[in-house]
Structures are given as structure tokens and as C-alpha cells.
Structure 1
Amino acid sequence: MFEAIKKMMTGGESAEARSELDPHVAAATLLVEAALADGIYADVEAEKISFILKSAFNLDDEAAAAMQEKAEDLAENATDHHQFTKVVKACLPASERVALIEHLWAVAMADGEKSPFEDSFIRRIAPLLAVDDRERVLARSRAEAAARKS
């Protein structure tokens, strides 16, 4: 009886499956969700995500494509962002979480349009990743500077 109550309270097997999510896949899913925040998943955003996955996680083309496909599937079926932010926050050091915020801004800016929905998404995600407002603003400034250089 206690085991049944425990399973009901923790979500049973689904909670165990979520805890097995790779933190890099969770981060990639957040990148996809940032691109989807304005309702349009532009090719340029998908290309930016692919570039980020290759450079940030040191992946080859095939591994980056597989990770991006998995992240797209997870983002499409997600009911909330907490399942991804929880894994990223627990598994990645602060410097990588701040870098992720910078990458989220880069994806949001990839299509050349400023979307209040993408901005709002990143503002909501940053505290869930334990990234404070100052670091979020600095990450945005770095992403904007990099976008101007491109």
C-alpha cells in the first residue's frame, strides 16, 4: 500500500525516466523551445541550434542532428519547461547555465526579429536555471554583440 502511494506521489516510472534525461539534450530542448516561443520555427533558428550544439557540446554533424531531432520531439510533446530546467540546473555548472542563456538569446535573435514571446521565455527560464538577472542581461549583451559581428 505504501509503495502504491509513493508511486502516485512521485509519478512512478515517469519520474525515473525524466531523471535519466541527458542534461545536454535538456539544454538542446530549451534551445528549440526558445525558437518555438514566437510560434515560428524558422530554418535560420534550426541552423543556429545545430551550430550551437556542435560548438558547445563538441559534436559532429551526425551527433548534433540526432540530438536536435530528439530535442525537437521533446519540445513538441512537452507540457512544461520544468522537466528540462530541473535537469540542466542539477547537472550543469553555473558557467554552462549562463552560456546556455547566451545561446538562448542567440537563437531568439537568429531570425532578425525581436519577439516579446522569445524575450519572455528567456526571462522565465533564467531563474529556473539559477541564473540571476544581471547574468541574463550580460548574456544578452554578449549574444547581441556576436550577432552584430556576424
Structure 2
Amino acid sequence: MFDSILSFLKDLPGGAREKRISPEDDPRVAAAALLFTVLDADGIRDDAEMKRLREILSETYDVSGAELEQLMQAGEKAEQEAVDLYAFTSVLKRHLDADARKAFIGLMWGIVFADGEMHELEDNLVWRVAELIGVDSRDRVLLRQEIQEKSSRN
């Protein structure tokens, strides 16, 4: 299931494949910003979380090298300048279908569990983002359990 969602996410606007769209409406930047937000939610930037963030962005958007660095910088800058989550969640809601929004919540859980533990602020943030992009509580909890189980095996 996630493979088809990741394939959809890779086809979103970006790079040389399509014309550039404004950063405030770029779903890749919005996704990166939200992933930085969950990464920073507990106040600790763990190396494992940063590594997982790089992997997620690289795999999801098929970027590497300078293009990956640009996406990370744009996402981090957008996250630092944001006053709320709506600026990012509204972009994702416009550009992603229901399955892709659900898959994005799975990516957020991947960042949360990259360091082996879940802080209550991380859990709360994923809950708020899920609500804002229209992912129901049941799906959010099932994704959390699935990602938590996978991370405990690694």
C-alpha cells in the first residue's frame, strides 16, 4: 500500500521534471516543514531522527545531493517562519488524496520513532496534523502501532 502512495508522492511537482511552483504551495516543502516540526517537537534534534528525515525526503521525493539539501533547507526555513500548522497542512490537503495524506502521517510516525521513543508532544503534534489533513483517529493510531512495531524490531 505504501509503495503506491510513495509513487504518488514522487510524482508531485518538483525538480526539472516539471515547472517550479511557488514554495508556499509546494507540497514537498510543506511536508519537509511538518517533518521538521515533529522532529523538533520534543526539543531534541537526535542524529537518528535527522538521518530518518533525510531518508524519508530522499525516498519519497526521489532527491539526493544538492536537491535534497535544498529541500531540507527550504523545509526548515519554512518551519522556522511559520506561525501555525495550517500553512503546511492546507497545502498537503489540496495536493494529496486521502490515501497519500494517511501515508504522510505514517512518515511523521517514522520520524517520531526514529530515536526509539515517543514524546507526548510528538504524539500531540501528529494528532493535530492528522486532524487538519483529514486522517481519522483510527487510521492515525493504527499507523502509530505499525510504525512503532517496525521500529522496535530494528
Using the size of structure 2 for normalisation, the TM-score is 0.80
Q: Structure 1 counterpart of 2:124, which letter?
A: S
* Partner Cα distance (1:42, 1:21) in 2: 29
Are 2:108 and 1:104 equivalent residues in the alignment?
yes
Cα distance between partner residues in 2 of 1:55 and 1:26:
16
- Find 2:60's aligned residue among 56, 60, 67: 56
C-alpha deviations, 1:60-88, integer Å up to 9, x for none?
23322211111111111211110000000
Show the 5 A alignment for 1:70-81. 70-81=74-85
Compute the displacement of 1:103 (Å). Answer: 0.8
Q: Does 1:85 find its partner at 2:72?
A: no
Aligned residue for 2:80, secondary structure, equals helix
Identity rate of aligned residues, in percent? 34
Q: What is the RMSD of the two structures over their aligned residues, measured on CA atoms?
A: 1.8
Residues 12-51 of structure 1 mapped to structure 2, 5 A cutoff: 20-51=24-55
Q: 1:117 — aligned with what?
A: 121
What SS does the aligned partner of 2:116 have?
coil
Q: Distance in 2 between matches of 1:98 and 1:61?
A: 28
Partner of residue 65 from structure 1, selected from 60, 63, 69: 69
Q: Which moved more, 1:63-72 or 1:80-89?
A: 63-72
Contact 1:28–1:71 under 8 Å retained in 2: yes
Structure 1 spans left out of the alignment, 5+ residues = 1-16
CA deviation profile, 1:8-64 (whole Å, cap 9, x unmatched): xxxxxxxxx988420111011111100111112222211111100111122223322
1:134 pairs, out of 110, 119, 138, with: 138
Mapped partners of 1:19, 1:87: distance in 2: 10
Unaligned ranges ≥5, structure 2: 1-20
Q: Which has the larger radius of gyration?
A: 1
Relative to structure 1, the CA distance from residue 133 to residue 18 in structure 2 (aligned partners, 3 Å threshold; closer, same or farther) is: farther
Give the TM-score normalised by the residue count of structure 1.
Answer: 0.82
Q: Is the 8 A contact 1:19 1:87 kept in 2?
A: no
- For residue 110 of structure 1, give the secondary structure of its aligned residue in structure 2: helix
CA 1:59 to 1:19, structure 2 compared with 1: closer, same or farther past 3 Å?
closer
Equivalent pairs, count: 134
